[in-house]
Amino acid sequence: MSKHHVTTVINGDPVEFLCQPNVSLLDVLRDELNMTGTKEGCGTGDCGACSVTLDGRLVCSCLVLGVEAQGKSIQTIEGMANGETLHVLQRKFLEHAALQCGICTPGFLIAARSLLERNNNPTEEEVRFWLAGNLCRCTGYNNIITAVLEAAREMRGA
């Protein structure tokens, strides 16, 4: 199988890569582009650790083919902070101890940002249901939910 040439934008930067048509975007990010911030937890779209946004849509990158990135814009965890300045969600996750081992954290941050872009004042229930596709085995979710609600509050300027 010969490789396809893909041109895309990742975290605002133009990126080109070669990949076979049956390789996932997750594998391209991690193994071709050395962007290992996006994690593989299951490879079958059940855990959300590989969450990225594709043209603004929250997706599991293990369920997207690398070739599907052609002409699209991808946001990964590596693009979340602005240089030295962390995104408010990243800050709140740290302040509220919303991570223990941290493997699910990139996926949760991407998913949470996607929620807050759509709904800047979610209820606790709305946050829990939006994040139901992201598995965490360490924290029991308490502090993740709190961190997202606090981030929303700060972003609203409340």
Q: Is 18 in the site for other proteins (CB under 8 A)?
A: no
Q: Given the complex with other proteins, which of 71 and 154 has the nearer CB atom?
A: 154
> For residues 64 and 57, what is the distance between their CA atoms, to the nearest angstrom?
12
For other proteins, how many residues bind (rule: CB under 8 A)? 59
> For residues 39 and 107, what is the distance between their CA atoms, to the nearest angstrom?
8
Choice from 10, 26, 49, 67 touching other proteins (CB under 8 A) = 49
What residues from 62 to 121 belong to the interface with other proteins (CB under 8 A)? 76-78, 80-81, 86, 90, 93-97, 99-106, 109
What residues from 50 to 69 belong to the interface with other proteins (CB under 8 A)? none
Choice from 25, 26, 39, 53 touching other proteins (CB under 8 A) = 39
> For residues 22 and 42, what is the distance between their CA atoms, to the nearest angstrom?
17
Choice from 43, 54, 120, 153 touching other proteins (CB under 8 A) = 43
Q: Is 127 in the site for other proteins (CB under 8 A)?
A: yes
Closest contact distance (angstroms) between CB of 10 and other proteins is 13
Token representation of residue 18 = 């070669």
Give burial (CB, 10 Å; 0-12/13-18/19+) of 43.
Answer: middle
Which amino acid makes up residue 138?
C
> For residues 116 and 54, what is the distance between their CA atoms, to the nearest angstrom?
16
Which residues in 125-135 are b (16+ Cβ under 10 Å) and which e? eebeebbeebb
Listed ranges 53-61, 63-71, 138-146, 150-158: which one lies at the site for other proteins (CB under 8 A): 138-146
Q: Given the complex with other proteins, which of 82 and 157 has the nearer CB atom?
A: 82
